[in-house]
């Protein structure tokens, strides 16, 4: 796998299916999802709780495997990879941002970012990543000394510092008030525009959809509707 993309698509899924458990207790989290996401796109996956959004994100991000169907990253079939190849895929190509920032409390902002840059093949400098999220002056602060929005921006800096091909964000503003949520979304749109990173955000907050190139409406384990935004709003412009 290289960073060069032989096709212009980041992801293609066909009949992607995920069933948790067996028999009468089986949960059909994904019911045959066909999806193409072009490289560099800013995608928002919108849908109610339990509709399968996180399951889809985790499979595309190499954290989980489908029960059936296929998922390609560029020309690589993710379902064909061994566990160690999948780990390498995550390490080389994938950044993750979760609702709860998962920072190490005993490390300051810079050290939290360096956890990732130290094991990456082509990282940016930790200070540069913190500057990108507007926190270069807070590099020596610990998570307990920062607001929720600031901690989430450190988590984004950490995810972006390895220069991932794709940035996955699962409910990144779910724990934030509107002002800090807006600041976090601004960082995500900046990363997409300045670095060309494909950004895929899962949310149940409909307002976020206005930022996206494409909005994928999810319900009951499948795609209900795909909407292309001819004009995108900025993080400052969206209603909250
Ligand atoms: P969403 O992110 O849209 O809220 P999820 O992808 O987390 O939805 O979950 C989809 C469905 O799969 C839900 O019914 C959820 O309870 C179920 N599910 C998710 N993860 C697991 C798991 N590890 N074991 C069993 N069921 C799960
Ligand atoms: Mg979820």
pLDDT along the chain (240 residues), means of 10: 61 98 94 97 95 96 96 95 95 92 95 92 91 92 94 93 94 86 90 94 90 96 96 90
**Strands, E assignment, the chain:** 9-20, 27-38, 42-46, 68-73, 76-77, 94-97, 166-170, 198-203, 214-219, 222-228
Whole-number Å distance between alpha carbons of 59 and 55: 6
In this structure, is residue 157 part of a structural domain? yes
Tokens of 102: 């998962």
How far does the centroid of ligand 2 lie from the alpha carbon of residue 51, in Å?
8
* 234 in a structural domain: no
Question: How remote is the CA of residue 65 from the centroid of ligand 1, in Å?
Answer: 13
- Encode 79-103: b = buried (16+ Cβ within 10 Å), e = exposed: bebeeeebeebeebbbbbbbbebeb
Beta carbons of 33 and 8 less than 8 angstroms apart: no
Does the residue 239 lie in any domain?
A: no
Q: Is 55 in the pocket of ligand 1 (CB under 6 A)?
A: yes
How is residue 154 written in tokens? 């450190």
**3 assigned to some structural domain:** no
Residue 44 is assigned to a structural domain of this protein: yes
Atom of ligand 1 nearest to the CA of 55: 6
**pTM: predicted TM-score of the whole model, two decimal places:** 0.92
The answer to whether the CB of 29 is under 6 A from ligand 1 is yes
238 is a domain residue? no
**Would 85 be classed as within a structural domain?**
yes
Q: H/E element holding 151? A: helix 148-161
Is position 205 within any domain? yes
Specify the CATH number for the domain of residue 48.
Answer: 3.40.50.300
Domains contained in the chain, number: 1
Give the residue whose CA is nearest to atom 1 of ligand 1. Answer: 50
What range does the domain containing 24 cover? Answer: 9-228
Write down the pLDDT at residue 3.
47
Q: Is 47 in the pocket of ligand 1 (CB under 6 A)?
A: yes
Determine the distance separating the centroid of ligand 2 and the alpha carbon of 170, expressed in angstroms: 7
Number of Cα atoms under 13 Å in the Cβ half of residue 108? 11
pLDDT at residue 7, as a whole number: 56
């Amino acid at each position: 796998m290289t960073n060069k993309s032989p096709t212009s698509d980041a992801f293609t899924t066909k009949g992607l299916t995920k069933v948790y458990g067996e028999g009468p207790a089986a949960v059909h989290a994904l019911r045959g999802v066909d999806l193409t996401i072009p490289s560099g796109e800013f995608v928002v996956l919108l849908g109610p709780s339990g509709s399968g959004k996180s399951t889809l994100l985790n499979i595309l991000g190499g954290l989980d495997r489908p029960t059936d169907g296929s998922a390609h990253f560029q020309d690589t079939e993710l379902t064909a990879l061994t566990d160690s190849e999948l780990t390498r895929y995550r390490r080389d190509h994938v950044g993750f941002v979760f609702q709860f920032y998962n920072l190490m409390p005993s490390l300051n902002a810079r050290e939290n970012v360096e956890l990732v840059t130290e094991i990456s093949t082509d990282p940016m400098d930790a200070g540069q990543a913190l500057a990108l999220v507007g926190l270069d002056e807070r590099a020596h602060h610990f998570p307990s000394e920062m607001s929720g929005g600031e901690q989430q921006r450190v988590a984004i800096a950490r995810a972006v510092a390895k220069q991932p091909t794709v940035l996955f964000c699962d409910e990144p503003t779910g724990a934030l008030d509107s002002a800090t949520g807006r600041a976090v979304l601004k960082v995500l749109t900046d990363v997409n525009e300045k670095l060309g990173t494909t950004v895929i955000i899962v949310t149940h907050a409909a307002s976020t959809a206005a930022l996206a190139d494409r909005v994928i409406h999810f319900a009951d384990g499948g795609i209900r509707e795909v909407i292309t935004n001819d004009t995108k709003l900025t993080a400052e412009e969206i209603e909250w």
